Amino acid sequence: MIDHNTILSFEHYKKGKPFTGSYKGMRYRIIKEMAGGEDDIDRFRVDTWPEPLCYEATTEDKITTQRFTFDKKGYEEVISYLNDMVTEYISD
């Protein structure tokens, strides 16, 4: 199960550096997207895709992207989302 220890602390993402990981056949990347656009708020961007390739080597059609508000609630939603998404990627 993906949890707070798996994806690092909320404080890590304030620096704007991406974090990548994998779990049961799913690869994922989490990064802070700076404000801009219609609602002008910072967001978490979460990309998921099937193993084995890294983010840069995976074609866009295999990557699913979701965004969440960049706050503690959004951080919790990121964890929940990743745990829900893993069922789409489970490899034996």
Q: What is the number of structural domains in the chain?
A: 1
| Of 66, 69, 55, residue with least CA distance to 10 | 69
49 in a structural domain = yes
Residue 5 lies in a domain: no
Is residue 80, in this structure, part of any structural domain at all?
yes
Answer yes or no: is 64 within a domain.
yes
What is the biggest distance separating any 2 CA atoms in the chain, rounded to whole angstroms?
42
Distances (CA, A) of 20 to 32, 48, 55, 82: 13, 10, 8, 12
In the chain, what percentage of residues exceed pLDDT 70?
96
91 — pLDDT class (breaks 50, 70, 90) = low
44: containing domain: 10-88
Is residue 32 domain-resident?
A: yes
Task: Give the mean model confidence (pLDDT) for residues 78-84.
Answer: 98
